[in-house]
Amino acid sequence: MQRNPSIHGLRGLAAGMVLALHLYGAMVTGGLLDSGGLAGRLEWLFAFGHRGVELFFLISGYLIAGSLVRHRSATRFLAHRLRRIYPAFLVPHLLIFAVGPWVGYGWMAGLDLWGWIRHFFANLLLLPGLFDLPIANIVAWTLSLEMAFYLLAAAAWLIGQQRSPWRKAAARVGWLAIAAVMILRHPRTAFFAAGVLAWWLHQRHAPIARAVQRVPFLGLAGFAGLCLLFDRAFAASLLCGWGALLAIAGNRGPLCRLLAGRPLQYLGDISYSLYLWHPLVLFGLKRGLAPALGTETGRCACVVFFLASALAGSLCVAELSYRWIEQRFRRHKPADSGRRCVACQPQKSPASSVEAFA
């Protein structure tokens, strides 16, 4: 299935938003910015970086629906997702648990052997994002929700393959109950469902999809609504996010041209590695560089130097992770994973995970 450059650029934008948020936080907690001065008055702007997570969830819902249809097998789909998630995740995970207790990384200071073992495997299995457990990589909680979504998507596909109407009906009830509990406990996971719906409407060339994609600047307006309304009106922000994604999926208009530009396409390429590695880079710089720059807050040269070091370090490490880990594991695919299925053809009406569930 051909990559949509606008969706790919949106992923790069989401990664950049999260990075900007954490850069701001690192400079404030590192003493380089005064939270009561100009930086404090701009905090609301950097807070929009939180919405990068919702963008990631929307994009995942959109892409995973297509991936499930393309693989036409819950087993192949899950194997593909594990190959996508774990290789790049494992290296920073191992580094954190190897070095963290020695350098006092977060809650790891004074961690005993049994606690180390327990938390090592809890984080390896991506449990902290779903349960009240200490998290090692501060951004990995989103991966916990991603994995839960993958399991629900695979289960929906399997339910669609059931021949017995009674079994299918019982499985639907169980699936809906689990999905409802998931959304109630973690409301942001509703953005996965919004992404799936956007994919389904776009692939079917539904009238609402065509109408949304013809309205100029609707994608930009939806994106603004997602950012501005999230803390005030969650349902409205969810609707705005869905509309923005559906508009951007049409791959037309000035916003899509911006997303298809080389900078955001590159960030889209390295977005996963950048997302995983930037907290570690910022931790190291905050420990080593910020004290050396002095404690006088608001010093322009210090802030610029820290920003340049953080951006260069994060991008370089992400590039290495992308080239040497992500791409290598993407090349080693099972023989049947590259088959092109009729269901993936855009002119057909694909049996999506939503349709299979029905």
Burial of 35 (0-12, 13-18, 19+ CB in 10 A): middle
Q: Which of 258, 194, 185, 197 is nearest to 225 (CA)?
A: 194
Would the pLDDT of 13 be above 80? yes
Please give the pLDDT value at position 227: 94
Query: Under DSSP, is residue 205 helix (H, G, I), strand (E, B) or coil?
Result: coil
> What pLDDT, on a 0 to 100 scale, did the predictor assign at position 42?
74
The pair of three-digit structure tokens given for residue 259, joined into one six-digit string: 């997303």
- The four Cα atoms 198, 192, 278, 116 give a dihedral, to 10 degrees, of -160
Average pLDDT over residues 130-135: 95
Q: Which pair of structure tokens corresponds to residue 208?
A: 């609402």
pLDDT at 340 over 60: no
- For every residue of 78-133, DSSP letters joined together read HHHHHHHHHHHHHHHHHHHHHHHHHHT-GGGTT--HHHHHHHHHHHHTT-TTTTT-
The pLDDT assigned to 347 comes to: 37
Question: For residue 65, which amino acid is it?
Answer: A
Q: What is the pLDDT of residue 33?
A: 78
Tell me the average pLDDT across 313-321: 98
What proportion of the chain, given as a percentage, has pLDDT over 90? 70
Q: Where are the domains of the chain?
A: 5-75+138-334
Q: Which residues, other chains included, contact 61 with Cβ-Cβ below 8 Å and sequence gap of 6+? A: 149, 191, 192, 193, 194, 195, 196, 197, 198, 199
- pLDDT computed for residue 336 by the predictor: 47
Amino acid at 346: P
Per-residue pLDDT averaged across 6-22, rounded?
96
Neighbours of 264 (CB within 10 A): 23
Q: Using 50, 70 and 90 to split pLDDT, how confident is the model at 294? A: low
Helix ranges restricted to H, the chain? 5-29, 38-41, 43-47, 51-71, 74-103, 113-124, 141-160, 165-185, 190-203, 207-214, 218-229, 234-249, 254-259, 262-293, 300-321, 327-331, 353-357
Of 313, 250, 240, 256, give the one whose Cα is nearest residue 283. Answer: 313
Alpha-carbon distance of 56 to 52, in angstroms, equals: 6
Does the pLDDT value for residue 16 go beyond 60?
yes
Tell me, what's the pLDDT at 38? 64
Report pLDDT digits (tens) over 25-36.
Answer: 988 888 787 767
Mean pLDDT of the chain: 88
pLDDT digits (tens, 9 = 90+) for 264-273: 999 999 999 9
Instruction: Name the token pair of 19.
Output: 């990075």
Tally Cβ neighbours within 10 Å of residue 347: 6
The lowest-confidence range among 176-180, 285-289, 312-316 is 285-289
Is residue 233 pLDDT above 60, yes or no?
yes
Q: What is the mean pLDDT of residues 184-206?
A: 95
pTM for the whole structure: 0.89
pLDDT band at residue 1, thresholds of 50, 70 and 90? low
Residue 120 and residue 113: Cα distance in Å, rounded?
Answer: 10
* pLDDT over threshold 90, residue 187: yes
User: For the segment 80-113, what is each residue's pLDDT rounded down to a tens digit?
Assistant: 999 999 999 999 999 999 999 999 898 998 899 9
Percent of the chain clearing pLDDT 70 (strictly above): 88
